[in-house]
Structure 1
Amino acid sequence: MSQTSVAEHPAEIAASNIGGISETEVSFSPGVTVLTGRNATNRTSFLQAIMAALGSEHASLKGDSDEGHVELTLGENVYRRALEREGGTVVMGGEPYLDDPEGADLFAFLLENNEARRAVARGDDLREVIMRPVDTDAIQAEITRLETRKRDLDDRLDRLDSLDDRLPELEQRRTRLEDQIEDKRTELEAKNTEIENADSTVDDTREQKSAFENALDDLQSTRSELDNVRYRLDTQRESIQALEDERDDLETEVADLSGTPAGDISELDSEIERLRDHKQSLESTISQLQRVLQFNEQMLDGDNPELQNALQETAPRTTANGDGDEDGALTDQLLADETADETTVCWTCGSEVDREAIDETLESLRSLREERAHERNELSSELDELTSQRDALRNERDQHERLQRKLDDIDREIDEREETVDELTSERDRLEDEIGELETDVDELEDQDHSELLDLHKEANQLEFELGRLENDLEDVDEEVQSVEERLDEREDLKRERADLQDELADLRTRIEQLESEAVEEFNDHMETILGILEYANIDRIWIERTERTVREGRRKVQRSVFDLHVVRSTDDGRTYEDTIDHLSESEREVTGLVFALAGYLVHELHEKLPFIVLDSLEALDSDRIAALVEYFSDYAEYLVVALLPEDAAGLDESHERITTI
């Protein structure tokens, strides 16, 4: 369904056993939808249900359920997702809105633990985050394919260029042949006139004259045949020489190639496969850690009240002396309010534990997730390097095999032409013997009185033979000119195809650079506008600078783009100075992270295929700034669903749809 048609319909969500939701059905219209309520009212769980239906894997199953479902209806289209607990993990199936949710998870599903938001706050590699949805392996594979096709076109065009140089020579030769044929015809006409004059003075019998002329005709025919054989023999020898020269060139080119052993490529394939398996394992671990963190953060925030209540009911209650009487229970109740902010019920063992201990454990898990993410990024770099190395070896191997096949073809053609030379040599020797015999016959028929006439006939026969040879040469030249012109006609098509390939290659080679530049431009423009709208004191500018830096990728050092985040502040006396992200307030960091996510949403054109943005955890901003930020984001998504506390929701325009019960 297109975005335009989607936006004409309300979105209907039916969910069961998602997060803290047991069962719910909610419908909301295009525009801004505000989920308003206190904590632990399943607002975040409802956002997770939307995300799951759209394709995200970052949704949790209700703690006391083994399966859950969510269904999104947009007009006539229905998108379903099923969650099932298998062996301690949650497996997701069904047919969601998106086939690949990676970009949406980064730039459209903006919950508290969204990676794009947190990357700014933690000072992570922003360039890596913004470029993660780009399939660089696929781009490199396409570049390799186009480069191979371009080399083939270059070879064909080089051969055509050599033909282009030959065409003027052929034209000159054709002109010379036409002039020679004209001269030869004039000379033959004159010779025939002499024969007629001489013939009229000779009193000869018809039989003698006929025998004499027949002998001359046979001699002329045999000489013509011999000349053709000699011409074909010379042509074959010239072709053999040309083939031998080409073979020498190819052998030199083959010698320059290393002759890539198949084992090298096989070893690289195995290593690439091993690294991919390792990367997939890391991604699975990162995903599991993300789900564990998300679940535990929800439990700490109280977004699963049913499970919390169940744990409270089963938690042990004892007095100071262990009797468990009513006085002890009353004491526990009186102390509950004092310790509520410091302790919580552990959802694994049901006992009271310090929140700080859980926070420390979660921080350890976050550190582990970041370590695995860093390891995954290094693996990606090493995979890129090995893939490029393997592709280069494959190209070299293919080139070696292509040249070897061409050498084999040339060797076969040389053998065939040498056999033809042997046959033509034998034919030439036979014809020379036959001509000797025919010349003897003509000499026997020659009469002293007919010697002048005989000489004239011989000269005429020789002229006719030379004329026939010239006409044959002209016919061969005409055919070659026509063949060259036909082949040259395709050169323009090949040049156009080559130009298109060059443009496509240039686009592919600069696509990553273009995306980086667009991301920086989008962030800087929106950040400047947002800072003007939200009116943060003494912040003049927050902007990203795209620079080049030498970094290590796998086993080598390369130049790579990096995004440097700059914060410019001003003092009361008007002086400006550069600050760091660490010195931003929580509110300022949150806004910066959200604008960074919006830049990714736009630069990856998610707005064209995903008309949803979900927002949560905006409590660091005051209500006026929340209202301004929501209005700003609403310009870029057909459906903007935001979870807010009642006091923050009060600052939004009353025309926005509100959902208070889930």
Structure 2
Amino acid sequence: MSSPESVSSSITVLAENIGGIDSTEVTLQPGVNVLTGRNATNRTSFLQTIMAALGSRRSSLKGDADAGHVELEFDDEQYTRYLERRNGEVVFDGDPYLDDPELPDLFAFLLESNEARRAVRRGDDLRELIMQPIDTDEIEAEISMLEAEKRELDDRLEELAQLDTELPDLEADRVALEDEIEATTERIETLEAELEAFDLDVEASRARKAEIESAFADLQTARTDLESIEYDLETERESYDELERERDELEAELEAFDDTQESPDRLEGRVQELRARKRSLDTTVSELQSVIRFNEERLADDGFEFDLEETSDASDGDGDDGDITEQLLADSNDVVCWTCGSQVDRDRIESTLDRLRSLRQSKLDERSELQDQIDELSARRKELRERRQKRGEIETRLEAIEDELERRSRRIEELEADLEAQQARVDELESDAETFENAEYGDVIETHRELNRLELELEDLEDERDEVEGRIEEIEATVDERSDLEDRRETLEDELTDLRTRVDRIEANAVDAFNEHMDSILSILEYRNIDRIWIERREKTVREGRRKVSRTAFDLHIVRTTADGRTYEDTVDHLSESEREVTGLVFALAGYLVHDVHEVVPFMLLDSLEAIDSNRIADLVEYFEEYVDCLVVALLREDAEALEESYTYVQEI
């Protein structure tokens, strides 16, 4: 069951400064490769080397090295990885086998630090680990998108439902307006008929009638113009009042600014001064640290390294005296001063070092205080600049408001003058109309006046009816929209149900697959203390912000059998350390089979199998040999003895 890119040639691994390895070159073969030897023989480091070449970032750089590299070569292909320490972190570069090592990191690189094994040991919820390689992110994103669309539809449908409550009142208003319009129209027609009925046969009477009609037409036009001027004047006054209110608010806000506050430019100078002091302290601290480190190293070496044997030979040549001198020096607590070359008591030097350390600490504290002051002043400076900018914006707006007030004031004065002139015009026309009110034409004049009033009223009623009918048409037009929205909402419900069910099915299938493969692996191990390991999928309620939501959890269960044959369930918390190790390994190996990791990477790495005896290890290796092109397992010599001799054995790294 080899992977699409199966390994058919020998495998060469070169490493430098990886884990505990200085430098090594090892050749592996397709099939099973066994790394044997005692503990602390770089077997785990070598597995980390292979991991790095395959693309993992869970390999470590040698502690005393700043850079390292790995080369992995097989089937005429070479894969490289470079590790470099930068700013306290290890940076990876190169051309590894995998671009995304997530799946192998979980279920193929099964070292002691493997996350799947550790999660079982800790008793964690296993859902995230099991589902992590399964691409449900797209489904979850689609669910979130559809839920958001459904909320928008619900809001819109609620708005449309509120419009339904408005429609009956509008219908009643329309009926009332149409009745009133009909009555007004009938009255107008009656008045027009009355005017036609007046007998003005003679030519003079006809001219008089035309003069009367012209006078009332002029009066009606003048009144219409008067209403228009009154409307414009009212609008300008409202705008003027609104501007005055805004001006008062801005002036009150402007008065709240404290003109006595210090200048941000002055704070800038203060910040620069503190930064200069801080840089000076940085230099001092660095120099103190260098002095302290140098003296600590010299003190550890007991000062300068003089050759005592040559010194004694250069004296009077008495061997006994030399022996005595060496004994005295050996018993002495003095060291050779590296500044003057004299013997100095170690305690005095250590006391001086303590004072230097204390001085460095005080400088660090002072530096921290300076940084706090810099941060505080910088924040204050930023606040003052923002306030200055806000003040400028207010002042600019106030200037614009004053200009606008002045313009509108002039306009109001013009409109008031126009209103006064138009009112005079109306009064004049009304006065002229009154001259026609005599015994002969009094009824005609009154009829004209009433007819003019009714015609204006009819225009207002028709405008109001048109507005009501427009609103009714707008609401009625939403009926089709609401039907479409309800259909879309029903479709969304079905889609959400399908997506959620799909996630449930994926989770259930994954759990079933894990349980099936864990049963198979346990049957190979024939582990007496554990009859079965199985995962239960359940729903739990968790809090997300202010809401409580339902989430899926995967719980690991252990089935045991007592000495008298009674079966009972247990949890990981009650297992021994070795049982946890076995359970974690079984879970990780099942993950390898469930997720078909052999189709992603042709290597499996096994380490830290001490909790399993050698015969079971041999059975486990034989079982997984079928699934992987190159299986590399690290074992103690005594555990490796049960494995087949045909395997490739590596004893030195």
User: Structure 2-normalised TM-score?
Assistant: 0.50
Larger radius of gyration between Structure 1 and Structure 2: 2
* TM-score in terms of structure 1 length: 0.49
